[in-house]
Amino acid sequence: MYNEKVLDHFNNPRNVGELENPDGVGEVGNPVCGDIMRMEIAVEDGRIKDIRFRTFGCGAAIATSSMVTELVKGKTLEEALAVTNRMVAEALGGLPPVKMHCSNLAADALHKAIDDYLSRAGAAAADLGAGERAPAAAAAGCPDPSADPCPGCCGKIGRERGDGPPPGGETPPAG
Amino acid sequence: MTEKTAGQGAAHEAAAGRRRVYLDHAATTPVRPEVAEAVTRHMLSEYGNPSSVHSLGRAAAAAVEEARERVARLMGARVEEVVFLSGGTEADNMAIRGVVTASGKSRPHVVTTKIEHHAVLHTCEELEREGLAEVTYLPVDGTGLVDPGDVARAIRPETVLVSVMFANNEVGTIQPVKEIGRVCREKAVPFHTDAVQAYGAVPIDVDEFGIDLLSVSAHKVYGPKGVGALFIRKGMNVRPLVFGGGHERRRRAGTTNVPGVVGFGVAADLAAREIEERAAHLVPLRDTLVRGVLERVPFARLNGHPTRRLPNNVNLSFEYVEGESILLSLDMKGIAASSGSACTSGSLEPSHVLLAMGLPHEVAHGSVRMTLGTGTTAADIEYVIETLPPIIERLRAMSPLYAAAVAQRGRAGRP
């Protein structure tokens, strides 16, 4: 089901953990869906000097989290914002189709961490070329991002149950 | 038995070049050598069609009838009440659809439960979509038990069938089948039970339990895949699913799968002889595994009933980790298990059984089912008890939910 590269990142994930004083933190997913990714970044001179992640989820969720940290470490924020979920999957040599939407959200978590940094720093995302970003759902290979609920989306569960926000709270349903 | 099967396990390990522990016997079992021998013989030399008049055909027919007797004996049925078909799924389909469409009622009603196998649930849903039946899906308690009182209350004048599984395939909970059978008798409603997991594992007697229809499958009892049987009590009106020749007393058309049926017969015969021995072997191993893991891993729980459960079923939930990543990690250590997480169910929702038992989604995602077999050894269980806790620990160290939970609940705390 998974290729060697995915299994390697699952078994030996890069940059797991957290930073002492992160400059930006981003989290996507929710425990009800079975996937949650948290990225922390340290920024220096407009570059991602260091990055750590923690992920609750399946093999693909862990591997994509690990891969995105490798892809953007040392890169400028502009370069990091241009990384899409699809690029992460490609860097891993591909993911099973069913995993493309639900478990392939690592770039979204990274972008949130950068947005968090930018809002703390008072900078405007537009100044950093964020306009080049593809919409998250489309980048993840969502079958029909305009549909509500999105047919590939975990957020559906929370909505269908109709019992308010999922446990763990502030995190909006992924996608 | 133990010696022979232990030998098999060792050969298996040697072939793989590393330790292999297969704990997915609820998914399927290896065929016993005696079964494989009978199947091979009926493919290579005794290959006749039981419908043929010549001696090769007559020999095949005799072999099928011998198998029918063996399969019937293990459930306390009469020979002519057993119909061979392609497996447990077809048996469930035939029992439910066959009774509904033969009922002659204008609005037939079926009572079933929320924890049935998809072979039952999806058949019921399809009958609803086709406008052929109304269906009531009964809830279960936190251990997966159906309340026979709920069954009684759900039955109405239009009810044509009650279908409640004998034992659950995911959590192993054994239902109060006798009580449900009694309720059905009192209300004069036929009772179907999916006994795919229970058959050969626990004693079954269709008369004693008041069962009118019962589904079984060969490959769960060390028999071949692609063959099963439906017990249809004499006098029950069940419309066939498959039409064609007059095979199986016109109940199931299609040339009989003689090798499969004969293999099923051998497997049923072995199960009948060994049923007590198998349970005596499995129950202590099962309980050792549960205790060993729960003692070593905090924030874990046993799903299903603590005592009313199949001798080979262990189903555990580990909070703050996701089932598929546990399975992948176990597989790398040579341990084959399964999970009720959404990722492994092929849908967005985790196991419908665990959700029906009231588990929150996030806990259901972290479930692992390990089902033991006759070849499982004490050393296998020890290996799993040593291997599993570090896997959970590693995944938790990666989980953003775990750090927060430990801070809140304390490291050793139980939920």
Residue ranges per domain, chain B? 2-31+274-409, 33-271
Residue A1 binned pLDDT confidence (cut-offs 50, 70, 90):
confident
Q: Do B325 and A7 touch (CB under 8 A)?
A: no
pLDDT at site A133: 53
- What is the average per-residue pLDDT within B396-414? 80
Q: Which residues of B touch A61 (CB under 8 A)?
A: 322, 325
Whether B360 has its CB under 8 Å from any CB of chain A: the answer is yes
pLDDT at site B344: 65
**Per the structure block, which two tokens stand in for A101?**
């939407």
Q: How far is CA B235 from CA A55, B81, B181, B239, in A?
A: 58, 10, 17, 12
Is residue B297 over pLDDT 90? Answer: yes
pLDDT at site B337: 97
Q: Which of B38, B39, B29, B40 lies closest to B5, judged by CA?
A: B29
**A38 domain-assigned:** yes
**A48 domain-assigned:** yes
CATH number, span B2-31+274-409: 3.90.1150.10
Q: Which residues of B touch A54 (CB under 8 A)?
A: 398-400, 403
- Considering only CB atoms, B322 lies closest to which of A16, A57, A166, namely A57
- What is the average per-residue pLDDT within B123-145? 98
Q: Which residues of A touch B328 (CB under 8 A)?
A: 2, 7, 10, 59
* Choice among A24-38, B156-170, B282-296 with the minimum mean pLDDT: A24-38
Residues of chain B above pLDDT 70, percent:
93
Is residue B16 over pLDDT 70? Answer: no
pLDDT at site B411: 61
Is residue A137 over pLDDT 50? Answer: no
**A107 domain-assigned:** yes
**A27 domain-assigned:** yes
**A175 domain-assigned:** no
pLDDT at site A123: 61
Is residue B408 over pLDDT 90? Answer: no
**A167 domain-assigned:** no
Query: Distance from CA of residue B305 to its chain's centroid?
Result: 16
Residue of A37, A56, A104 for testing the chain B interface, max B β-carbons within 10 Å: A56
Residue of A58, A104, A171 for testing the chain B interface, max B β-carbons within 10 Å: A58
Residue of B299, B324, B338, B341 for testing the chain A interface, max A β-carbons within 10 Å: B324
Q: Which domain holds residue A66?
A: 4-161
Q: Specify whether A102 is catalytic.
A: yes
Tell which B residues from 299 to 338 touch A, by Cβ distance under 8 Å.
320-325, 328, 332
Between B348 and B319, name the one with better pLDDT.
B319
At CA A4, angle to CA A3 and CA A9, rounded to 5? 105
pLDDT at site A149: 37
The sign of the CA dihedral B397, B401, B404, B407 is negative
Is residue A161 over pLDDT 70? Answer: no
Q: Do A34 and B362 touch (CB under 8 A)?
A: yes
**SS3 assignment, position B97:** helix
Between A168 and B412, name the one with better pLDDT.
B412
Among A102, A142, A150, A153, the active-site one is A102
Compute the mean pLDDT over every residue in chain B, rounded to the nearest whole number: 94
Q: Which of A171, A54, A150 lies closest to A102, judged by CA?
A: A150
Fold of B33-271: Aspartate Aminotransferase; domain 2 (3.40.640)
Residue B370 pairs in a beta bridge with B314
Q: Which of A31, A61, A18 lies closest to B317, judged by CA?
A: A31
- What is the average per-residue pLDDT within A117-138? 61
Residue A100 binned pLDDT confidence (cut-offs 50, 70, 90):
confident
Q: What is the dihedral of CA B151, B153, B158, B164, to 10 degrees?
A: -10
What is the H or E stretch that residue B22 is in? strand B21-22
**A169 domain-assigned:** no
pLDDT at site B363: 92
Q: Which residue has the tokens 């016109």?
A: B250
pLDDT at site B404: 81
Contact B152, B183 (CB under 8 A): yes
Number of domains in chain A: 1
Distance CA B209, CA A80 (A): 66
Tell which A residues from 18 to 57 touch B, by Cβ distance under 8 Å.
27, 31-38, 54-57
Among B253, B302, B343, B355, the active-site one is B343
At CA B210, angle to CA B206 and CA B214, rounded to 5? 50
**Beta carbon pairs, A and B, within 8 Å:** 80
Q: Specify whether B124 is catalytic.
A: no
Question: Which one-letter DSSP state was computed for residue B407?
Answer: H
CB count within 10 Å of CB B78 equals 15
**A171 domain-assigned:** no
* Choice among A5-9, A122-126, B207-211, B219-223 with the minimum mean pLDDT: A122-126
Residue A69 binned pLDDT confidence (cut-offs 50, 70, 90):
very high
Residue A128 binned pLDDT confidence (cut-offs 50, 70, 90):
low
Q: Which of B57, B89, B50, B84 lies closest to B70, judged by CA?
A: B84
- What is the average per-residue pLDDT within B104-108? 93
Residues 6+ apart with CB under 8 A from B132: B97, B100, B101, B108
Indicate the residue type of B374: T
Distance between B24 CA and the closest CA of chain A, angstroms = 18
